[in-house]
Structure 1
Amino acid sequence: MTDLPQRFVLTLAALALLGAPALPPAHAEATAPSPKRGTEGLVAVPLEVTNAGDLTLSCEAKLAHWYSFALGTAAYGVTLSATLWSDPSSGAVVLLNRIGDQMPVERIWCGVEGRSWDTRFEMPLARAAGTAEAPLRFSCVSGAKDAAPITCSAP
């Protein structure tokens, strides 16, 4: 009978430990980060990439930790257009998702479709605090199928 209180205490402790991860911390709602939303205080930054080469181009933006967002593709003679947003106070460049959340952009590149990273041209982002990002307008040329990288220039 002397083991009963000890078993009871151990069982209670085990149940408490097993159930603890299922309970949210009391302060979780108060400290959970929420993304900035909307375009207030932001300046639109047009991105235009004209494909002047033979192969279809694909353009993407790296948003965070290896996550890339497809901006679109452009066949020969087609101009891909997208809108980025610039925060002049911080120099940050963002994309907006479907519900308007601001998603910080780390880099933007275009390359041959299916191998855009291997054949990439990175669009330069100034990200200077105190000034809005300039429009990004490029004409890009892909060479032979195995050539890398593509070349882009401001028109």
Structure 2
Amino acid sequence: MLKYFLLLISHSACYPVGEGGVAALTPQKTKEKGIFMKLNIDCVRDILLYCDQEDNAYIEYRSPWSFNGHEYSQHEMVYHVGLCNDADFFHRACLDNVPSCEVEGLSFEGQKYLDTIRSESVFAKVKEEVKKKAVPVTLEVVKGVAVAVISSGITGSV
């Protein structure tokens, strides 16, 4: 049985990018089909995987954006690229060119985060554990569960 501590931080706001690529300080609610956007960890993982394999990633916010067998709407992409930027996962990102953005590599934080969820088997176990425990899905919760899954695999095999 996995044991882990959870740090719950809400990522329910979308911070639009203002002049010069600086995120505005006032959160705005983002709606898609009348439903407030919520964190889609598959989308975050796919964005990070895509940016990791490209030196200078160019992401078009077209509908649908397809990667790794998943499809995401334009609203999902804008929201989740913004979340990744807010979490300092990108070395540098130009987000004010809607309907696209450019990302110049993952930051150290982005690389560390991706490394915890890169493995398909670890990621599947993370999603299973989060669903089983019925905890809110945040970037920190996913990382904490991934670290616990990896640690249990290492200690279980030693």
Q: TM-score range by the shorter chain?
A: under 0.3
Decide which structure has greater helix share.
2
TM-score by length of 2: 0.24
TM-score, with structure 1 as normaliser = 0.24
